[in-house]
Structure 1
Amino acid sequence: MSQSWSAKIIGTGSYVPQQILTNKDLEIRMDTTDEWIQTKYGIKQRHVAGSNDNISSLSIGAAKRAIEDADIAAENLDLIILASINRDVKAPATACFVQAELGATNAIAFDMNVGGCPNSAYALLTGIKYIDPFRFKNVLVICTEIYTKFIDWSYRNTACFLADGSGAVVLQCCEKKEGILGYDFGVNGTMAKSAWWPTGGTLGTISDNVEMDGKAVWEFGHTIVPESIRNVFDQANLQANDIDFYIYHQANVNIIRNIMDILKVPQSKTHINNDRFGNTGGASSLIALDEACRQGMIKKGDKIMFVAYGAGLAWGSILFQM
């Protein structure tokens, strides 16, 4: 017997550090130019963590805004999922600190990690799978990244686009006819070293740099991502133009625009903000979702295609009704 319930998003939130680093600032730090970064990635500036910023503090900032937007009390949260490649301490899970600060006394909390950029889609799917009308009625999903405290600023290949920030959503149990309409996920582990950060694990420190095969990731974004989206279309028996809005991982403005062209969807049906925030990994798509909602680009009842991809190489596409 199939279940009669689903999950819907009832609140969004985002939070970024106050300090801004422009491309002109980076020209002093590394061998690069403002023109090169804008042409290659579309980025003009990014927010970077200060000495008092950490994974929990950014997460709490985004979570509070999402909870306020959802118009529920923190005590009514049943589960908190925090996705990040970093953490405040080795143990316990950073989600425990977030739970305490929010006063979410009835929520269980845990961390998870798929590898940065895909984290938002995987964390959302995990939250969706937990949702039920009995124990997990309200689920807070947070994706937070702080890259700039750890990267080698002389390594232009990745340091020029990485940034810090947090995004969050509140999921709530709903009737089957609402909420999630379809999803498609996958991992190609044979390409894991195409985008990886080979330090801090039991293999030892292979390199301190976030390393990326730009050509491989570019091809991946242009092939697997449109295929994944089309798989969701088939599940929901919909076409590309039936979707009201598309939210993507904000890695590269050129990839986003090209995917929209491949799908033959107007560019006006997506929101790009990496010119101001850079690539905040898994947080980026949730920050874009929050901005699009708050600026009125997304309305109640709209069908939203949410897409995140990257390290793994992993990808996830979720279609939901707002």
Structure 2
Amino acid sequence: MSATAARPAGNPAPTAWSRIIGTGSCLPERVVSNDELAAEMAQRGVETSDSWIVERTGIRQRHLAERGVTSSQLGTEAARRALQDAGIEAADLDLIVVATSTPDFVFPSTACLIQANLGASKAAAFDVQAVCTGFIYALTIADSFVRIGRARNALVIGAEVFSRILDWNDRSTCVLFGDGAGAVVLQASAEPGVMAAKLHADGSQTKILCAAGNVAYGEVIGDPFLRMEGQAVFKQAVTVLDRVAHEVVEEAGVTLADVDWLVPHQANVRIINATAKRLGVPAERVVSTVDLHANTSAASVPLALDAARRDGRIKRGDTVMLQGVGGGFTWGAVLARM
């Protein structure tokens, strides 16, 4: 029996491309400036300041979720905005992939919760956990589903509430992160969209960025807070982001000069600037939201992409490189024509 004959009824035929046709964001209402954060930390005997944070990270503020606000809630709202931007209904979705390191529960998945919230009853739904590279992993997976004809419309979400896993007495980590969600809608297309993708991991580097606690037997086992070796992460991040950028343009058969916009993971302005310099991408072609959002882990890339689309910087036809790097240690890149 041929592959075509074996395909289940109603399954879309294979297509050459998937294309991003909509984006959306959701940020918690509470905005916390560096000065406000420094004042709160001072009450706990931890010293920091706006100048200390800005000089080392480029971060000036972050959005923090109120207690009880979940990744699925933020992800649902980002998804609704992405669907509206794409001009399709939740009922049209065939697939939902959510990247998160802060799921609502052990199970069910955050993706299933969002599926129920949206009423996307025919969509398969699952989570991906690759920390700050999670959105790049999720986008690559969804692109593969569309390319082989297993989905026509796919929703990819990065959603995080990192504030709940931060040690607010550790200024080396707690000042770096924020909460939020970003989403994109992929659709099968005859025109080039996602041109290439590369994913990597190095499990031997787990200790430089981890949250090594878990819940077992009704109690917390291990350290439940995020821990990071800042210098090691910086060195590793700049090295691998440079390498994967070259890999992804080579796979696409283009050059770095053909990239209109670099949308990197929003971890630290020093990492962003160092990566752009290595790649020869001018500052005016780099999308940076780290000053406003801080590091939102798997949400950072789709949040930055949505911001740059909605303010008119990224336009249809532009070639965009999306990059992620995070705990695991994981990293990857996607090259897409918008």
Bin the TM-score by the shorter chain.
over 0.9
Q: Which of 12, 18, 36 lines up with 1:7 in the alignment?
A: 18
Task: Please give the alpha-carbon distance, in whole angstroms, between the structure 2 residues aligned to 1:134 and 1:314.
Answer: 28
Task: Please give the alpha-carbon distance, in whole angstroms, between the structure 2 residues aligned to 1:56 and 1:252.
Answer: 26
Give, in angstroms, the shift of residue 150 of structure 1.
3.0
Aligned equivalent of 2:34: 23
User: Which aligned pairs between 1:66-81 and structure 2 lie closer than 5 A?
Assistant: 66-81=82-97
Task: Please give the alpha-carbon distance, in whole angstroms, between the structure 2 residues aligned to 1:190 and 1:133.
Answer: 33
Aligned equivalent of 2:125: 109
Task: Please give the alpha-carbon distance, in whole angstroms, between the structure 2 residues aligned to 1:54 and 1:236.
Answer: 37
Aligned equivalent of 1:152: 167
Give, in angstroms, the shift of residue 90 of structure 1.
2.7
Task: Please give the alpha-carbon distance, in whole angstroms, between the structure 2 residues aligned to 1:272 and 1:198.
Answer: 29
1:180 has 2:194 as partner: yes
For the structure 1 residues 122 and 264, does the alpha-carbon distance in structure 2 shift closer, same or farther, using more than 3 Å as the test? same
User: Which aligned pairs between 1:261-276 and structure 2 lie closer than 5 A?
Assistant: 261-276=277-292
Aligned equivalent of 1:128: 143
Task: Please give the alpha-carbon distance, in whole angstroms, between the structure 2 residues aligned to 1:133 and 1:218.
Answer: 37
TM-score in terms of structure 1 length: 0.95
Give, in angstroms, the shift of residue 205 of structure 1.
3.0
Aligned equivalent of 1:195: 209
Asked if structure 1 preserves the Cα contact closer than 8 Å seen for 2:15 and 2:147, the reply is: no
SS in 1 for 2:29: coil
Q: Which of 76, 83, 91 lines up with 1:60 in the alignment?
A: 76
Give, in angstroms, the shift of residue 52 of structure 1.
4.2
Task: Please give the alpha-carbon distance, in whole angstroms, between the structure 2 residues aligned to 1:79 and 1:19.
Answer: 31
1:204-252 superposed Cα distances (whole Å, 9 cap, x missing partner)? 6332321111111111122111111011121222221211111010000
Larger radius of gyration: 2
Q: Which runs of 4+ in 1 moved over 2 A?
A: 132-135, 201-206
Size of the aligned set, in residue pairs, is 319
User: Which aligned pairs between 1:211-230 and structure 2 lie closer than 5 A?
Assistant: 211-230=227-246
Task: Please give the alpha-carbon distance, in whole angstroms, between the structure 2 residues aligned to 1:118 and 1:136.
Answer: 23
Aligned equivalent of 1:92: 108
Question: Larger deviation: 309-318 or 229-238?
Answer: 229-238
Asked if structure 2 preserves the Cα contact closer than 8 Å seen for 1:138 and 1:172, the reply is: yes
Listed as ranges, the gaps of 5+ residues in structure 2 are: 4-13
Give, in angstroms, the shift of residue 135 of structure 1.
4.1
Q: Which of 144, 148, 154 lines up with 1:139 in the alignment?
A: 154
Q: Which of 299, 307, 310 lines up with 2:323 in the alignment?
A: 307
Aligned equivalent of 2:6: none
Task: Please give the alpha-carbon distance, in whole angstroms, between the structure 2 residues aligned to 1:81 and 1:208.
Answer: 25
User: Which aligned pairs between 1:255-294 and structure 2 lie closer than 5 A?
Assistant: 255-294=271-310
TM-score in terms of structure 2 length: 0.90
1:17-53 superposed Cα distances (whole Å, 9 cap, x missing partner)? 0011111122121321111100111001100011341
Paired-residue identity, %: 36
SS in 2 for 1:131: helix
Output the amino acid matched with 1:119: G
Asked if structure 2 preserves the Cα contact closer than 8 Å seen for 1:83 and 1:112, the reply is: yes
Aligned equivalent of 1:40: 56
SS in 2 for 1:105: coil
Task: Please give the alpha-carbon distance, in whole angstroms, between the structure 2 residues aligned to 1:76 and 1:276.
Answer: 33
